[in-house]
Structure 1
Amino acid sequence: MLPPRVVRRLVFAPLVVVMAAALAVLAPPVALLSAALRLVRRCASPGGPGRLGGPGRPGRRPKRMRVLRVVCFALVWFLGETAALTVFGCLWLVSGFGGRLDTEPYQSRHYGVMRWFLDLMYRAAQRTCGLRVEVAAPLDAVALTGRPVIVCSRHAGPGDSLLLVHHLVAACGRRPRVVMKATLQLDPSLDVLANRVPNAFVHRRRPETRAGSRHHTEQIRRLAAGLDQRGALVIFPEGGNWTPLRWRHAIDRLRRRGLENLAERAVAMPNVLAPRVSGAFAAIAACPSADVVFVAHTGLDTLVSVRDVWRGLSADLTVRARWWRVPAGEVPRAAPRQAQAAWLYDWWQRIDAWIAAENPQRVRSLTLLPARAAGRYAGRGLSPGCPHV
């Protein structure tokens, strides 16, 4: 259970300011210490300052200063949060203590703060983490069609949802509505913003009862029904980031429900989780005029654990993405449920194939994983011989 909203605002918001001040004090000595350590390592290496190794040894690229990267990015994040919270507080005051926050002028201002913050974080990630995003098929038409869009994206790796929302806001000029985890409200600025503009929160700890499913579906339906020409509903049909454990659980869930055909299709898609049809089509059916956009990406999906993220920071990050747009008239809104499920799985199969083609090294590593990591997944419901690894 999340703390009450008033507790979150009174505790976590001041904590952001404290963290920003602490990091501002900490960043200069960390930078000096990291530079000194890097110089010592280069001079102590067999190849000297060039770090080329001894005779006959190939050169090696020096590792990035991961601690400095983390500190610098965190500093920008907390400073950005502090600035955003200050602006949100001012907007609350001038709106008559929150009385006019749901009016168009104040909604526009909040989306403006969203764009500013996401731009700031994107630039910070570029400079501190060497982030580079390559979109294979940019969807300029998404910004020009004058129609609402339902965006169905795979979910894998840290920050992929922020990159997606940033593209919709900055490149497409859209006003995104996001179906997100309720725990994200622990972030103070996101907590304020997401509760002032239309969004939906999914409580993952809630038991998967019919009542809970109906509540989530109704939230999604309400968001989609309110889309205008500038709107974009972002939904992740997989329900969570890709991991081997979640991959297996998704297949087991389909089999428990007697959907053996869909389970077999999910087995054949090792790079993605089985999509949940009910939430996606609740959104699609609630907005008949909306085009549907599918998003595939790779580059962050190998960063499954904290250890993976830490190792990944030693090199620059490259994210490759691919977008497909399906016009509203080609979406099977009136088809039977079985046909809708087959249509969604067809698209997810295309996403899986694109990921495999873009990153064959990942496919090889998934194939070789059982021999290296059988013990790691033992006792967690994973069979070392399962095709997902």
Structure 2
Amino acid sequence: MRARSIPPPPPAVRRLLAPLWPLVGVVVTGLMVPVVLAGAVHALVDRRARLLRMACLAVLLLWVDIRTLARCWALAAGSVTSGRVPWRRAHERVFTEALDALMFYTRRWLGLEVRLSDRMHFGTDGRPLLALARHAGPFDSLAIAWLLARTAGRLPRIVLAEALRWDPGVDTLLTRLDSYFVPSAGRDRLAGVRGMAASLAPDDVLLLFPEGENWTPARRARLIERLRRGGEDERAERAERLVNVLPPKVRGAWAARSARPDADVMIVAHAGYGQLSSARLVWEAMPFHDRPFLVRTWTYRAEDVPDEPVAFAAWLEARWRQVDAWVSTHTAAGGIPTALGPDEQTGA
């Protein structure tokens, strides 16, 4: 089941989940102790120690989430509430430090390493930035959000599935940071995107994934089949020419662009994890020491991005063809990124 099809918790459940979350952490940690011990024994057979790595990482990430929630409670109980700007800056620090912790533990236990294939350009000073990213493989949302926060120095505003409100840490922190939780059904699902884009500060970046869902071979095949059945042969042919990405859904990107026409636009491609499209493939690839998360970005001034919907749709589709070609060029057999050049930089 896709996250966006899961309904959010009712308000009463949300209020109950938050104070119970540390207790849930204690219970889950206790239940995971036998799994960790079994993973340690299994590591004698599996030299990659995959069960041990996953069990330890799951517990650590749960407690990062609980610590984030506790820090939000501390901010609400403290004196930071004296002004909107200090309140927001304090929560931004919590968010950045949570991203750092998530990346640290994922790198430590799974070998996730973010690398840049070229120098990043972060747009014009004093302007917000719209980042439109490829969506494929595990960890891509986390890695790109962290990269923007730490390398670009711009804290990302994020559009999330409303189902993520079941996580009290995510719900509390990102609600306070005015992120948008896309409703699973009903209401104008683009209204929040427009509102977020319109409210961007000059040093903010709005992170969107125009494909709307993770690329997998099965989703690509289903999309092409659905277009064929609907008589949209031209769109189906364009989708068939895209090997590594799904065709971008223009409405969300255009909602952000039209609400903030002064924002520069960054296109984000990545290679290395897109082929890990199932739990089995992720398990077989672990740990990822020989598989860096390779990132390439292209940044366009606001003046160079079409400001009319039809032209913008054509422009975005052209950018996605560029992303697809780059991924193909930088992916070898097995989905491993090709060797890095001497000018390529390490981001983590």
Tell me the TM-score range normalised by the shorter chain.
Answer: 0.7 to 0.9
Deviation at residue 32 of structure 1 after TM alignment:
6.2
Distance 2:115 2:60 in 1: 24
In the alignment, which residue of structure 1 is the partner of 2:259? 286
Superimposed CA distance per residue, residues 239-288 of structure 1 (whole angstroms, 9 cap, x where no aligned partner) = 10012232134335555776543332111002101111111111112112
Distance 1:225 1:256 in 2: 38
Deviations 1:95-119 (A, max 9, x none): 69xxx59811111111100011110
Instruction: Give the count of matched residue pairs.
Output: 329
Q: Structure 1 residues 315, 325: CA separation in 2 closer, same or farther (over 3 Å shift)?
A: closer
Q: Residue 216 of structure 1 aligns to a residue in which SS?
A: coil
Q: Aligned pair in 2 of structure 1 residues 180, 30: CA closer, same or farther (>3 Å)?
A: closer
Residue of structure 2 equivalent to 1:176? 156
Map of 2:280 onto structure 1: 307
1:129-151 deviation per Cα after TM superposition (whole angstroms, max 9, x unaligned): 01111111232x31773321000
Tell me the CA shift for residue 219 of structure 1.
Answer: 1.5
Equivalent residue, structure 1, for 2:3: none
Are residues 1:318 and 2:292 paired?
Answer: yes
* Distance change (3 Å), C-alpha of 1:134 and 1:102: same
Equivalent positions of 1:239-318 (< 5 A) are 239-252=212-225, 254=227, 259-316=232-289, 317-318=291-292
| Higher RCO (CA < 8 A, seq sep 6+) | 2
Equivalent position of 1:2 in the other structure: 8
Identify unmatched segments of 5+ residues in structure 1. Answer: 42-61, 365-389
Q: 1:308: how far off?
A: 2.2
Secondary structure at the aligned position of 1:289 is classed as coil
* Counterpart Cα distance in 2 of 1:110 and 1:101: 14
Identical amino acids, percent of aligned pairs:
35
State the distance in 1 between where 2:192 and 2:57 align. 34
Structure 2: distance between partners of 1:252 and 1:342: 22
Specify the alignment match of 2:128 in structure 1. 148
Change (3 A) 1:112 1:256: farther
Q: Following TM superposition, by how much is the alpha carbon of 1:229 offset from its aligned partner in structure 2, in angstroms?
A: 1.0
Q: How far apart are the structure 1 equivalents of 2:164 and 2:53?
A: 23
- Deviation string 1:296-351 (CA, Å, 9 cap, x unpaired) is 112221222222222222553421111110111100013xx332222111000010
Q: Who wins on radius of gyration, i.e. which is larger?
A: 1
Equivalent of residue 188 in structure 1, options 168, 172, 184: 168
Which residue in 2 is equivalent to 1:339? 311
Q: Distance in 1 between matches of 2:307 and 2:202?
A: 19
Does 2:64 align with 1:90?
A: no
Whole-angstrom distance in 1 between the partners of 2:154 and 2:253: 19
- TM-score (norm. length: structure 2): 0.85
Question: Deviation per CA, 1:2-27, whole angstroms, max 9, x where unpaired?
Answer: 22234134236524543356537855
Equivalent residue runs for 1:72-221 within 5 Å:
72-94=56-78, 100=81, 103-139=84-120, 141-142=121-122, 145-204=125-184, 206=185, 212=187, 215-221=188-194
Change (3 A) 1:282 1:18: closer
- CA distance, structure 1, for counterparts of residue 65 and residue 304 of structure 2: 41
Deviation at 1:352, TM superposition (A): 0.5
Q: Determine the C-alpha separation between the residues in 2 that align with 1:82 and 1:195.
A: 16
CA RMSD of aligned residues (A): 2.7
Distance 1:151 1:223 in 2: 13
Secondary structure at the residue paired with 1:195? helix
Which letter does structure 1 place at the counterpart of 2:85?
E
Taking a change above 3 Å as real, the CA distance of residues 150 and 106 of structure 1, as seen in their structure-2 partners, is same
